[in-house]
């Protein structure tokens, strides 16, 4: 286990989030099934990195929120106007042309959406 993974473990242990089971399932599955993905804590939540850039970040607050934010780094990129990403699942709610959210109601919802989210994440980190 890497130092970053240990820090994320410690962060989640201290968090005591109501959707802990779903968060941990998403975390473990994405790390195991999305090639090149690593993690750290950023923006007060676990965040997944691909090739040195934050690409997928948990949103766990306010309250009992459980979302994954799909983004292309910490700031808007110059190619935002030409960026396109197809989401045949319909799970992504677009916030900006290059930033989307996938929301989960509970751990059963995480399980139901898990395969689709893995597919989205695999394509997203390369977009």
The fold for domain 3-124 equals 3.90.1150
Chunked into runs of 10 residues, the chain (127 residues) has average pLDDT values of 87 90 96 96 94 95 91 81 92 94 96 98 94
pLDDT at residue 79 in the model: 82
Its pTM stands at 0.93
Kindly list the domain boundaries of the chain, sorted by start residue: 3-124
Residue whose C-alpha is closest to residue 13's, from 39, 43, 46: 46
pLDDT at residue 73 in the model: 78
Helix (H) or strand (E) holding 5: helix 3-15
Q: At 87, give phi and psi (nearest 5°).
A: -120, 90
Per the CB < 8 A criterion, the answer to whether 46 and 27 are in contact is yes
pLDDT at residue 80 in the model: 82
- Tokens encoding 95: 């916030």
pLDDT at residue 39 in the model: 96
Residue whose C-alpha is closest to residue 23's, from 49, 54, 56, 53: 56
Per the CB < 8 A criterion, the answer to whether 41 and 47 are in contact is yes
Per the CB < 8 A criterion, the answer to whether 127 and 39 are in contact is no
């Amino acid at each position: 286990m890497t130092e970053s993974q240990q820090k994320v473990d410690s962060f989640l242990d201290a968090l005591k989030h109501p959707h802990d089971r779903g968060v941990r399932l998403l975390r473990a599955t994405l790390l195991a099934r999305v090639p090149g993905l690593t993690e750290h804590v950023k923006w007060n939540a676990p965040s997944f990195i691909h090739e040195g850039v934050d690409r997928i970040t948990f949103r766990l607050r306010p309250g009992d929120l459980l979302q994954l934010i799909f983004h292309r780094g910490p700031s808007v990129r110059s190619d935002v106007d030409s960026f396109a990403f197809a989401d045949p699942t319909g799970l992504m709610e677009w916030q900006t042309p290059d930033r989307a959210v996938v929301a989960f109601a509970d751990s059963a919802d995480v399980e139901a959406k898990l395969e689709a989210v893995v597919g989205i994440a695999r394509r997203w980190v390369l977009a």
